[in-house]
A and B are shown apart, each in its own frame.
Chain A
Amino acid sequence: EAQVTQNPRYLITVTGKKLTVTCSQNMNHEYMSWYRQDPGLGLRQIYYSMNVEVTDKGDVPEGYKVSRKEKRNFPLILESPSPNQTSLYFCASSPLNTGELFFGEGSRLTVL
């Protein structure tokens, strides 16, 4: 089954404790991206990747890091989480240049 898998789905953590949200896709897609969804703000892009070792900032990259060492994986790293990073995070992938994203089910992160 074609899918984008995110882990963990739910996480409560404390300020400053590094965490990683993993994302994996099994569709051999070149393009992968991270979004956060906040009430009243919709979906905002954090980072995206056009292919292995190629990443770029989206609209809200501050406080986040990403890496793309393998085509299927695109982890989101919060080096020192803060309460304003409490949000619902979505990973997505697509074939190159279509914009037709396949989304994961989301990861709800709470930073206390």
Chain B
Amino acid sequence: DQQVKQNSPSLSVQEGRISILNCDYTNSMFDYFLWYKKYPAEGPTFLISISSIKDKNEDGRFTVFLNKSAKHLSLHIVPSQPGDSAVYFCAAKRGNSNSGYALNFGKGTSLLVTP
């Protein structure tokens, strides 16, 4: 049962425009959400995160928005650059350091930024 869903397998955006990657989740126990970026032949790298008590977190060109009532988060990249072309994974954490915790990942969205 996929608890974290990325329904768009791929996205193509022109350089300089905004990229919006979407993620939906089903488990209301998730308390922390993260985005990872993955280039071919490399491991994923952490990009940006947001706590469930916030609705927005910004880091340079990257902003993550969280809508808890809709169980939806999105990653905005502005402006998009060709080097942003990669697979983006949405992840959600449940549990804590006392009880143990796990990260659930979505299937990923492949972003292509064209010049």
Q: Could you tell me if B107 and A40 are in contact, using CB atoms closer than 8 angstroms? A: yes
Complex interface bits, B33-77 against A, C-beta within 8 A gives 1, otherwise 0: 010100001111110010000000000000000000000000000
Q: Which of B34, B43, B107, B108 contacts A90 (CB 8 A)?
A: B43
The answer to whether B103 and A45 touch across the interface, beta carbons within 8 angstroms, is yes
Which residue of chain B lies nearest to A6 when distances are taken between CB atoms in the complex? B43
- Encode contact with B along A70-97: 1 for CB under 8 Å, 0 otherwise: 0000000000000000000010100011
Chain B contact residues: helix, strand, loop or mixed: strand
In the complex, the answer to whether B32 meets A92 with C-beta atoms within 8 Å is: no
| B89 close to A97 (CB less than 8 A) | no
Confirm or deny: B102 has a beta carbon within 8 angstroms of a beta carbon on chain A: yes
Q: With A and B bound together, what is the CA distance between A40 and B107 in angstroms? A: 6
Q: Cβ of A106 and Cβ of B43 under 8 Å apart?
A: yes
Chain A residues within CB distance 8 Å of chain B: 4, 30, 33, 35, 40-45, 48, 50, 54, 56, 58-59, 90, 92, 96-97, 99-106
Given contacts A92-B43, A104-B43, A105-B43, 14 further A-B contacts (CB under 8 A): A42-B6, A42-B108, A43-B91, A43-B105, A48-B100, A48-B102, A56-B100, A99-B101, A100-B46, A100-B49, A101-B36, A101-B103, A103-B36, A103-B44
Q: Can you list 5 A-B pairs with a CB-CB distance of less than 8 A?
A: A4-B43, A35-B105, A56-B100, A59-B104, A106-B43
